[in-house]
Chain A
Amino acid sequence: MSNPIIQKIDSALSVAEAKLLNAVTEAEIEEVRIGIIGRNGLFPALSKEMGAVLPEDRKEVGQAFNTGRNRFQELLDAAKQRLAAGAGGKSSDELDLTLPGRLRKLGHKHPVTKVIDDSVAIFRRMGFIVADGPEIETVYHNFDALNTPADHPSRDPGDTFYFKDGRLLRTQTSPVQIRVMESQEPPVRIVAPGRCFRRDTPDATHSMNFHQIEGLYIDRDVSLADLKSILQAYARELFGPNVSIRLRPHFFPFTEPSVEYDFSCIMCGGKGCNVCKQSGWLEIAGAGMVDPNVLKAVGYDPEIWSGFAFGMGIERIAMIRYRINDIRLLYENDTRFLEQF
């Protein structure tokens, strides 16, 4: 058990240290100083008690007295310096904290790229892998192999861009389906994002150049229920858990049964608003069970394999997702537009 004087010094110093560390004004520091080394402070008082210390303790207590006083002086000086230095940092001037920060800016991802990247990520989580194909395509891959009749209107030079050598600019990402199936045996589970071209006069909702993402899943016993489930999972991942999906019968040459699919309106939740034209549904794209003729064209046996395909317009999704009202904004690259994404 150490001498009570030493104990007093220790406890007084730890209290003083805490006070000094927290002091924000000169007066607070002065108050502490007076309490410890002022005329009626701790140390002058203790020095009067020193006489009463037992001789065998005197050396130890004396030492503690001196180190204690020196230590306090150090704390005192440090506190005064800290206060003099302002906010407690190395520099002394107070900062205008409201000045603009020195930005370390990242760039911006184009909304079309964003939707492609997010869509691919979602489908990858569901086991799809990414495939691609050329933008200058053969008539065979873009139409023939996709069961499109020879006089189908979509083949018309009024709708499709052709080249002198008879090839064309792909009008859809569906030829990637054919290329993948030609190059591998089933099962197949791919998505293919990419650029497509149609001979549409540009306006707020039409563009000669646009992007699609294609999906194809071929396996044993794939059904419409799988198609619906995967598209619903996609819709919910992209637009939130409350979105539902609706299939409507439709017609495409390369699928049978064919459907169009709608997402419940992300604006009104399906109650009906201007965006969904009061219907509660947003028309997204087309899909269906791969037509047996398409499977035959690539050498798959439709008795063994079945599957679905879907395709959707990226610009359409981006316009819904970011409430963009004119497709042409996507191709203008105004930096004030790009900065919003």
Chain B
Amino acid sequence: MNISYNWLSQYVDISCGIETLAAKLTMAGIEVEAIERSGGIPAGIVVGEILERKPHPDADKLSVCRVSDGKEELQIVCGAPNCDAGNKVPLATIGATLTDKSSGESFKIKKSKLRGVESHGMLCSGRELGLDDDHSGLLILDSALKTGTPLTELFPGDTMFELEVTPNRPDWLSHWGVARDLACLLDKEASLPEIKAPVPLKNEDTANLVTVLDQELCPRYTARVIRNVKIAESPEWLKERLLSIGLRPINNVVDITNFVLMELGHPLHAFDLDKLSGKRIVVRRAADGEKMTMLDDSKLSLKPTHLVIADAEKPVALAGIMGGLDSGVTESTVNVLLESAAFFTSNIRASSRELGISSDSSHRFERGIDWNMLETASNRATSLILELTGGELVTGLVDIQGNKPEFKPVVCRFERIRKLTGVDLSNSRIVDIFKKLRLNVSDIDEVKCVVTPPSFRLDIEREADLAEEVARINGLDAVPVVPVTSKSVASFSKDAYTGIQGLRDELIALGLYDCLHYSTVSDKSALSDSRFASEDVIRMDNPLSLDLVCLRPSLLGEMLATVERNISRKNLDLQLFEIDNVFCANPQKFPEERLECCIVLTGHKHPERFSAERRELFDFYDLKGLTEAWFTDRKIEKFRFEKAEDARFAPGRCAAVMIDGKCGGHIGELNARYSAKFRSEYPIFLGVFETSAILKAKLESPLYSPLAMFPSTTRDVAFLAAQSLQHQTVVDFIRGARLKNLEKVELFDIFTDEKAVGAGKKSMAYTLTFRSSERTLTDKEVNEAFDKLREKLSSDLKVELR
């Protein structure tokens, strides 16, 4: 909401200055979002009198003037055509700062020389002062003005504050409302000009003037009839008020209703009585499908949930929201019906939202209005209409009232207020704050008082609401900073956060980059993971765009988008991961929300290197090794990799990661159907893990194994085997032979070479390490075990020993 400084100053003394005022408002909970100054004149400009004009000796267009500033005579060089002796004009004295409105640049007036002649100031045009756009010559001032008068006195200007008013405080939605609160903050008195109920010239019959058919939605409706108004432009003062807060003046009657709205906070509506069929008002619910054209020319089709102000036949206004096109006050209006009413807040809010119409009026009605102000506003507007339009009041106040809202007294325990606010306030200070806020205080004793809110404070219902008022008015800066005591509430259960943080830290230690994506994704992204069918995906009922309708069932889709984005930006070497929630609609497949972990490796392993390593690309075994390192670090004991088929991966290049016999995820090379469009020739490796499986498998406290005290002995074995023989099979076979004292089995060489080893074959070589924890092994016993193994390899595994 916009507030004008000048306007506000009509009700309360705000001579504290604009900055202080803005700070006070903000610290009282009325946040000042912007301050806009208008029409002000910079300091240092005074009324100057030109005493003499002489031509400049060296310039045709310049004059040399003798100018009085009221104290002394100054020589000033001027280029304006009208700097004639006798004129009183604005004089910018040395030191004044002017701002060029078009460029926004400021310049300071200094003593200078123009073509060799000294000039001690500057005579100004209207445009140079920012008053108007006239730059044809100097601004000629009234000759009756005293020379030397500061121009700030003649053109005071105004300041507009843009306020953010929280929804609980509709009483701040007017100048008077802000002034009332401000008075309390500034410790001043706020007062309204006296508003009396205008006396009608005659009393026309009003028995059928207003009918309220739904008193629940319209608990109070008042009307007055004013005849023979002369619709015209509003007087300057009224136009100035509206313009000062950015409203456009229309005509005197409409401007008055807007002025009263912004002054007192109560919305009014003026109807052209002669345009009301039957010359009467009926407040009723709309008929289903009833049509109406609004002031802004929009056409509505209404429903019975919408409250309308109707005449004898048709709706003429959407109650509390906006007037209709044909019933408003125009230049031809002669007789006016002035409405001041109260409407049910929730109904106005619902209708306004449903129909997509909001106005200054609906903004206030949906937050709640002051029941008592309703009549004051009508009085104020009526008086102004009579005064400014020459109209005649022909009725008293027609006032149809339902149930008056109740304001329940609230008990306020002083100690409770002190405890909630943390501020040590005396009882009397607390009571004083309430009184200043115009709350009604009664039954004051040692421990409590009773507070009854006035009709404009709809937000005060409980003790906590009073605590807020005390904290607010006493100032939150007065809330002390106390030592932080950690009287912690113990919890010994492990939180999910710690587990996930651990996983993230481990993957970062392994060189991966932590990524973050949106959970809300497109169908295409969601279904890119072949594990999910369309019906497995959770969709929002009201997505922001049809593009982002799903909750991601997997991290894959968005991670691939990140890979593609990076590749398109020539970031070809990627080591990425994400751990976050994913969603599934099918409880047979997955829980609704669960954590997933996604890893991507692609491009160069060592992009920063300069030697042969520079060319090394990530391959499957890097991802596998990373997984092994990660799991080993978590002391996960029982995991292995098994061949798997999965449409996300390239055929034959996917392994299921089995943790304790259960599948905990997959790793492998990304299927080319995803990567074909990427502008990168490097293979992409993908790992997708069930985070919970990895969290669960962690061994928190591994047991120490004694360090070997005796030396080890190694034996190498090499053989030719069929291409299909897998390393894991060899290791399992050797382990299965249960050789005495065998400590380790390590592959140290593997190659295929058709010429050397024959087609369809490969050479594999292993180092076996033997060690005893009790003694140094003899060659003899190691050889015995080793020979037994060689025999078995040859006879049972059918390999060709070399």
A, B co-complexed: yes
Q: Does B759 contact A (CB under 8 A)?
A: no
Closest Cβ–Cβ distance, residue B96 to chain A (whole Å)? 23
Q: Please pick, from B488, B513, B544, the residue contacting A108 in the complex, using a CB distance under 8 A.
A: B513
Q: Does B750 contact A (CB under 8 A)?
A: no
Closest Cβ–Cβ distance, residue A10 to chain B (whole Å)? 42
A251 engages B565 (CB within 8 Å): no
Q: Please pick, from A102, A131, A335, the residue contacting B513 in the complex, using a CB distance under 8 A.
A: A335
Closest Cβ–Cβ distance, residue A306 to chain B (whole Å)? 6
Q: Count chain A CB atoms within 10 A of each CB in B421, B481, B519, B562 and give the residue with the most.
A: B481
Closest Cβ–Cβ distance, residue B138 to chain A (whole Å)? 35
A292 engages B464 (CB within 8 Å): yes
Q: Does B355 contact A (CB under 8 A)?
A: no
Residues on B with C-beta less than 8 A from A135 are 519, 581, 583, 593
Closest Cβ–Cβ distance, residue B324 to chain A (whole Å)? 25
Q: Please pick, from B31, B468, B480, the residue contacting A257 in the complex, using a CB distance under 8 A.
A: B468
- The complex places the Cα of A162 from the Cα of B539 at a distance, in Å, of 9
Stretch from B238-246, B256-264, B450-458, B571-579 forming part of the interface with A: B571-579
Give B162-188 as 1s and 0s: 1 = Cβ < 8 Å from A's Cβ atoms: 000011110000000000000000000
A335 engages B471 (CB within 8 Å): no
Q: Please pick, from A189, A225, A339, the residue contacting B488 in the complex, using a CB distance under 8 A.
A: A189
- The complex places the Cα of A154 from the Cα of B540 at a distance, in Å, of 17
Given contacts A169-B540, A208-B518, A209-B519, contact A334 B569 (CB under 8 A): yes
Given contacts A129-B489, A229-B481, A333-B516, contact A258 B541 (CB under 8 A): no
Size of interface on A: residues with Cβ below 8 Å to B = 80
Give B537-551 as 1s and 0s: 1 = Cβ < 8 Å from A's Cβ atoms: 011111110001001
Residues on B with C-beta less than 8 A from A99 are 610
- The complex places the Cα of A201 from the Cα of B545 at a distance, in Å, of 9
- The complex places the Cα of A188 from the Cα of B489 at a distance, in Å, of 6
Q: Does B472 contact A (CB under 8 A)?
A: yes
- The complex places the Cα of A47 from the Cα of B480 at a distance, in Å, of 92
- The complex places the Cα of A195 from the Cα of B517 at a distance, in Å, of 11
Q: Does A322 contact B (CB under 8 A)?
A: no
Stretch from A30-38, A241-249, A263-271 forming part of the interface with B: A241-249
Q: Does B491 contact A (CB under 8 A)?
A: yes
A136 engages B541 (CB within 8 Å): no
| CB closest residue in chain B, given A121 | B501
- The complex places the Cα of A292 from the Cα of B481 at a distance, in Å, of 24
Given contacts A224-B422, A225-B423, contact A334 B519 (CB under 8 A): no
Residues on B with C-beta less than 8 A from A330 are 516
Q: Does B722 contact A (CB under 8 A)?
A: no
- The complex places the Cα of A38 from the Cα of B609 at a distance, in Å, of 52
Residues on A with C-beta less than 8 A from B566 are 333-335
B169 engages A251 (CB within 8 Å): yes
Q: Does B612 contact A (CB under 8 A)?
A: no
Stretch from B22-30, B199-207, B372-380, B677-685 forming part of the interface with A: B22-30
Stretch from B102-110, B389-397, B502-510 forming part of the interface with A: B502-510
B420 engages A117 (CB within 8 Å): no
Stretch from B247-255, B330-338, B345-353, B439-447 forming part of the interface with A: B345-353
Residues on B with C-beta less than 8 A from A41 are none
Given contacts A126-B486, A161-B543, A257-B467, contact A228 B516 (CB under 8 A): no
- The complex places the Cα of A245 from the Cα of B719 at a distance, in Å, of 74
Residues on A with C-beta less than 8 A from B421 are 223-225, 257
Give B492-536 as 1s and 0s: 1 = Cβ < 8 Å from A's Cβ atoms: 000111100100100111111111111110000000000000000
Residues on A with C-beta less than 8 A from B509 are 106-107
Q: Please pick, from A126, A129, A151, A161, the residue contacting B346 in the complex, using a CB distance under 8 A.
A: A151
B489 engages A189 (CB within 8 Å): yes
Residues on A with C-beta less than 8 A from B581 are 135, 195
Give chain B interface residues in 548-572, CB to chain A under 8 Å.
548, 551, 562, 565-566, 569, 571
What's the count of A-B pairs with C-beta under 8 Å? 229
Q: Please pick, from B422, B477, B486, B592, the residue contacting A127 in the complex, using a CB distance under 8 A.
A: B486
Interface residues of A, dominant DSSP: mixed
Size of interface on B: residues with Cβ below 8 Å to A = 87
Given contacts A108-B513, A256-B462, A333-B562, contact A221 B540 (CB under 8 A): no
Closest Cβ–Cβ distance, residue A175 to chain B (whole Å)? 14
B476 engages A250 (CB within 8 Å): no
Q: Please pick, from A110, A221, A292, the residue contacting B516 in the complex, using a CB distance under 8 A.
A: A110
- The complex places the Cα of A226 from the Cα of B485 at a distance, in Å, of 9
| CB closest residue in chain A, given B573 | A335
| CB closest residue in chain A, given B347 | A151
Q: Please pick, from A105, A195, A333, the residue contacting B519 in the complex, using a CB distance under 8 A.
A: A195
Give B736-751 as 1s and 0s: 1 = Cβ < 8 Å from A's Cβ atoms: 0000000000000000
Give chain A interface residues in 172-216, CB to chain B under 8 Å.
187-189, 193, 195, 197, 199-201, 208-209
Q: Does B780 contact A (CB under 8 A)?
A: no
Residues on A with C-beta less than 8 A from B496 are 130, 132
| CB closest residue in chain A, given B488 | A127
B514 engages A107 (CB within 8 Å): yes
Closest Cβ–Cβ distance, residue B548 to chain A (whole Å)? 7
Q: Does B484 contact A (CB under 8 A)?
A: yes
B349 engages A151 (CB within 8 Å): yes
Closest Cβ–Cβ distance, residue A252 to chain B (whole Å)? 9
Residues on B with C-beta less than 8 A from A249 are 27-29, 468, 471-472, 476
Q: Does B236 contact A (CB under 8 A)?
A: no
Q: Count chain A CB atoms within 10 A of each CB in B349, B496, B571 and give the residue with the most.
A: B571
Q: Does A336 contact B (CB under 8 A)?
A: yes
- The complex places the Cα of A245 from the Cα of B515 at a distance, in Å, of 32
Residues on B with C-beta less than 8 A from A197 are 519-520
A225 engages B489 (CB within 8 Å): no
With A99-B610, A250-B166 already in contact, 14 other A-B pairs whose C-beta atoms are closer than 8 Å: A107-B511, A107-B577, A109-B504, A120-B497, A127-B487, A127-B488, A130-B495, A132-B497, A161-B541, A162-B540, A225-B479, A246-B477, A257-B468, A333-B562
**Can you report 13 residue pairs joining A to B where beta carbons are below 8 Å apart?**
A100-B610, A102-B609, A107-B577, A112-B516, A132-B497, A151-B349, A193-B497, A195-B581, A209-B519, A249-B468, A256-B468, A331-B516, A332-B562
Interface pairs A-B: 5 shortest CB-CB? A225-B422, A127-B488, A249-B29, A223-B422, A257-B468
